[in-house]
Every structure is written in C-alpha cells, then in structure tokens.
Structure 1
Amino acid sequence: MEKLTLIGFDADDTLWQNETFFRLTQDRFETLLADHAAADHLHERLLAAERRNVGQYGFGVKGFTLSMIETAIEVTEGRVPATVIAELIAAGREMLSHPIELLPHAREAVTAAADAGFRVMLITKGDLMDQERKLAQSGLGDLFDAVEIVSDKTAPVYARLFARHGVAPESAMMVGNSLKSDVLPVIETGGWGVHVPHGLTWALERADPPTGHARFRELTDLSALPGLLTRLLA
C-alpha cells in the first residue's frame, strides 16, 4: 500500500457552515412567493431549476440566486413583482457577505494533520471569489500547503490535482461532508474517502455510501480524524 502523504479537506459544511444559510434563504424565498405556490411546490421547482442550471452557472450563491429568480418568474407566469426580484437579489448579496462560522474541531483537525507530517490541501468547489473570501475570513488559510478551488469535483479533476502536486492517488485522502463530491470520486481514483456528515445536505450532493470499501471511512465529526490517521499509520 502506498504511504499516505496528503490529506485534502473540503470547505463548505466540512470546515465551516454553508448549507444552513442556503436553507434560510430558501425559507425566505418561499415566504415571498407564498401567495403564488405552496412551499413544497416551490421547493421542487427551485431544485429542478438548480439541477438544470448547475452545468452553466456552477455551484454557489450566484447560481442559486439566479435559480430563485428563474423559479419566481416561472411560478408566477411572468407576473412576479419587481420588489420580489429585488429582495431575492438582496438575499443573495447577504449570503455573499455572511460571516464565516467554523464547524467544531475544524482548526484542530487541520492542525493535527499538518503536525503529523502530512501535506494538507484545501479542495473546494464553487464561485472563486466567494470561496476565496470565506477562506480568508476563516483564519485557516495559513494552515494549508495548497488551496485548489475547482468548478466541480469528479474523479478526473481529483486525478489532475493529485498529479499536479506530485502525489499518487493512492497516497491521498479526502475529508468531507459530501459522499458525491468528496468521497466517491476520490475512492474511484484509488485514494481514501472520509465522510464527515453534516446535518444538512443539498439534494444534489446526496449519494449512497460505499459501505464495505477498504478505503472508505465515516467519522462522527472532525475530532475523530487524528485518531483515524494514527490507526492508518500504525
């Protein structure tokens, strides 16, 4: 077995809160359009718009805001008041300036991986400017040996990242809350995938866990990561 040398960390909902703010904004969206459609219907229509648009808008607040506006136009058959559109734009702007809230044990987990001699890398997807803002505000930036912000997380993307940093996939581990983006594609490349569940998971990030796979692990929270690394190195 290749020696484990690189630990990659996801950012949103692994190191800091993210989905919570999307849910709060979605609640606001449903309240604004309550006279036009039921909350369940709005939820379904918004998710369909996000699924349809993610290939063009990418992941993040800006694509979410555009999908809300598109859905508002659709469900009102083009009669949505300009004041509602303005409120949705304002909600998106608020999300883009919301203070960072670190998740429990985030700093300790990254520090422990670095102190154990691993190269540590932040691998996150989404809007470049927003992700850079969040990293800067998190206070964690100096802990990472490298930062990669990508448009999506797939096995070929991870393979290219590992190759660019001179790391064999078998020597890499990715730690994150998304089975679809942080675990399954890394295992596909030959690396380790460590799932740290978050209480809220966006529908487009859900996937079945690779239960029983030799390179899959699930942790209750980040406080368990140092112990896992110790066991793997034993």
Structure 2
Amino acid sequence: MKLTTIAFDADDTLWHNERFFVLTQDRFAELLADYAPRDHLDVRLLEAEKRSIGHYGYGIKGFMLSMIETAIEVTEERIPAAAIRQILEMGQEMLSHPIELLPHAQAAVEAMARSHHKVLLITKGDLLDQERKLAESDLRRFFDRVEIVSEKTPETYSRIFTEHGDGPERAMMVGNSMKSDIRPAIEAGAWAAHVPFDLAWALEAAEPPSESDRFHTLEDLGHLEELVTRIG
C-alpha cells in the first residue's frame, strides 16, 4: 500500500466552523456601527487577530479577545461596559454552539476506519473547544489518534506521521485549508486532498501546490474513498 495513514482536519472539513465566525462578525459590526464603517472595522479586526495568534493561539477565545481589543481601539476607549459584555456573550454563544457535520463527513471517516489505514485527526485551535466539538460530533471512536496542535507546519506533520504512522511519504492529509492542511503536508512529503469550503478565513489563504503530483482536489468528502483506493 502506498497509503497507510489518513489524517483529517476538523473545522470546516468535518463540521461547520467559519460560518459562526462570520455571523458573529456581522453582529460585532452592528454593535459598533456608530463608531466605525464596516470595511474599516473588518480591517482593524483582522489586524488584531494577526497580533493575537502569537499570544492566544487559534480559536474562539482569541477571536473574542480580538473583538474586544478592536472595540476599544475604534471607539478610542469609549466603548460602554455593556457593549463589552455583549461581545463576551457572543463568544460564549460560539463556544456552546451545537456541532453540525458537513455532508459525507461521518461516512468518509467511517470508511477509512473500516479500511486497513490508520486514521488520525489533526486540528489546531483551543484545546477545550476542540475536545468539546469532537465529543459532540460522535466521531472520536473512528480515530486511532487525535492531535490538537498550536500550529500546522511541515515539522508538525512529519512528527505526527512518523510517530503514529509509517512516515509522511505514506500518509495523506485531508482538509479545507490550503495554508494549514495542504501546503505544509505536501512540504513534509505527504499526500494531500483539498476539500474546498465556501467560507474561508483571510489568514488561511495560500496558493495551491499545483506542481506536486501528491496534491489532489475533491469536490466533497464523498469522493475520498475513491481517491484513496486509486492511489493504493
């Protein structure tokens, strides 16, 4: 077998995630409409998110703190305490939102678990939130190993595929993010299957590694089993 390990991303690959950020950002813009126009607010929030990654990592908590920081900045520290409370409540709602699996997600993971492949979940973000979502998804039973990492780099994939598989050369990463799931996995020497999602965070944008013969694009997870079988 060329492939012995199949790894899945979680957010926006197996279940919805980005749309809750978009909806919350819409509410945030409405809350601060009297202080800043939407396009200016979006730019300032994205800048705050870039800064916050190094301090808080990825996930809802960092996003919530970025909204608070942005609100303080654009209002020149005149934001009412009641508005800060509303921002905190937005984040808390996101942290308790029920999981909604994407089409074919469970069938794809289950099919890989039934095969002779080792099945991994490799995701980044807040530890408690990712553990909550995984538990609610009812997919945990299909994974041989779950890795919640602070960043997805070629070194991350090389380590995980070596420790829990037969090395990156015999592994495939399946995900929606070109920046986090596809390019670093290819650079580590693995195969990669890109499953595009209609919403994407600006900080996850990257060019596809089209020059690599280990790079594939799938319309949805329903085509994964066919691809894995074809590769062998």
Report the Cα distance in structure 2 between the residues aligned to 1:70 and 1:217, rounded to whole angstroms: 39
Matched, 1:191 2:204: no
Q: Which residue of 1 aligns with 2:150?
A: 151
Whichever residue aligns with residue 173 of structure 2, its letter is M
Residue in structure 1 matched with residue 206 of structure 2 by the alignment: 207
Matched position secondary structure for 2:212: coil
Q: Which residue does 1:49 correspond to in 2? A: 48
Q: Which residue of 1 aligns with 2:140?
A: 141
**DSSP-derived class of the 2:20 partner:** helix
Q: 1:203 Cα shift?
A: 0.4
CA distance in 1 between counterparts of 2:165 and 2:141 reads 21
Structure 1 runs, 4 residues or longer, greater than 4 Å off: none
Q: How does 1:95-134 map to 2 (within 5 A)?
A: 95-134=94-133
SS of alignment partner, residue 123 of structure 2: strand
Name the CA distance, whole Å, in 2 between partners of 1:211 and 1:88.
41
Paired with 1:163 and 1:214, the residues of 2 have a C-alpha distance of 21
Give the letter aligned to residue 142 of structure 1: R
Per the normalisation by structure 2, the TM-score is 0.98
1:63-74 aligned at under 5 Å gives the runs: 63-74=62-73
Amino acid at match of 2:76: E
CA offsets 1:29-58 (integer angstroms, 9 cap, x no match): 000000000011100000010011111110
Counterpart in the other structure of 2:8: 9
What is the total number of aligned residue pairs between the two structures? Answer: 232
Aligned-partner residue type, residue 95 of structure 1:
M
Structure 2 counterpart of 1:227: 226
Q: Which residue of 1 aligns with 2:167?
A: 168
Instruction: Determine the structure 1 residue equivalent to 2:180.
Output: 181
CA distance in 2, matches of 1:226, 1:111: 10
Tell me by how many angstroms 1:163 deviates. Answer: 2.2
Q: Using the TM superposition, name which of 165-174 and 183-192 deviates more.
A: 165-174
Question: After superposition, what is the alpha-carbon deviation per residue over 1:118-167, rounded to whole angstroms, capped at 9, x for unaligned?
Answer: 11100000000000000000011101111110011011111111222242
Write the letter of the residue equivalent to 2:194.
Answer: H
Residue identity over aligned pairs, in percent, reads 62
Structure 2 CA distance, aligned partners of 1:132 and 1:57?
Answer: 17
The SS at the match of 1:104 is coil
**Which runs of 5 or more residues in structure 2 are unaligned?**
none
Residue 184 of structure 1 deviates from its aligned partner by 0.4
1:79-101 residue CA offsets vs partner (Å, 9 max, x unmatched): 00111100000000010000000
Gap regions ≥5 residues in structure 1? none
